[in-house]
Amino acid sequence: MIPVRGDVGVGSFEPGVVTPAEFRRLPRQRLRAVAELTGLSSTASDVLDELGFALAVSSDVLALRTGPARVVGQALTIRYLPERRSSSHPDLRHTPSRLTHHAAFAVAQPGDVAVIEVGGMPAVSVLGGIGAQSAIRAGLAGCIVDGGIRDLEQIQSMGLPVWARTLTPRTGKWRVEAVAINQPVACGGVQVHAGDLVIADETGLCFVPIAVAEVAIDRILEVTRQEAEQLASSPHRPPA
């Protein structure tokens, strides 16, 4: 029987559907310009409303668990479904688990954001300390997990920004199986495609379709500039 503890051979499973991260790349200087803004997810949510998209998720659904509070990058998507057999099934436990973090992160480009759907199983973890280390080695800007994570102290010590639905000690090994990399996923109740622009901070998360990402960036920068000018021109109230 394969031991539960440890990461030897875990996370390298390649699901049946793996699409290379060959989506259109947004200019990095533009992403950096957006990442420097304050009130970021709120402005991005307003812009999504203007563009007719319902793709904002609040922090009570997916909370920032660790790391810097602001991330801007393009989505690398991973989809998990529940394993049909029990994790104690003898045949299942004689085979490697079907977690895919190492395999998925290997196709990422630096600055990408992993967006992970965990098929309605928030009480099991698909990202722990070793998975987070793999994400950092791949240069990921952050991870968003619509499911559980564990090893919080280890991830915090690495400085990787991670949003997640739950914290749990229960491993996803033999409880979930990866079915797709870079296919559409559901995250926080919204549909996310590989390559979508991800904007995330402590307030919440926004997913901007790649087809309108350049327009959205222009509008986010414009709105932020207008608000800054408005604040600068407002009379300061004397302290009470």
Task: Please enumerate, as own/partner, the contacts of 220-227 that have beta carbons within 8 Å and a separation of 24 or more.
Answer: 220/34, 220/37, 220/40, 220/43, 220/44, 220/47, 221/33, 221/34, 221/37, 223/43, 223/46, 223/47, 224/37, 224/38, 224/39, 224/43, 227/39, 227/43
pLDDT digits (tens, 9 = 90+) for 79-96: 999 988 887 777 776 788
pLDDT digits (tens, 9 = 90+) for 38-70: 999 999 999 999 999 999 999 999 999 998 889
Query: Can you list the domains of the chain with their CATH numbers?
Result: 37-227 (3.50.30.40)
pLDDT of 2 > 60? The answer is: no
pLDDT digits (tens, 9 = 90+) for 123-155: 899 999 999 999 999 999 999 999 999 999 999
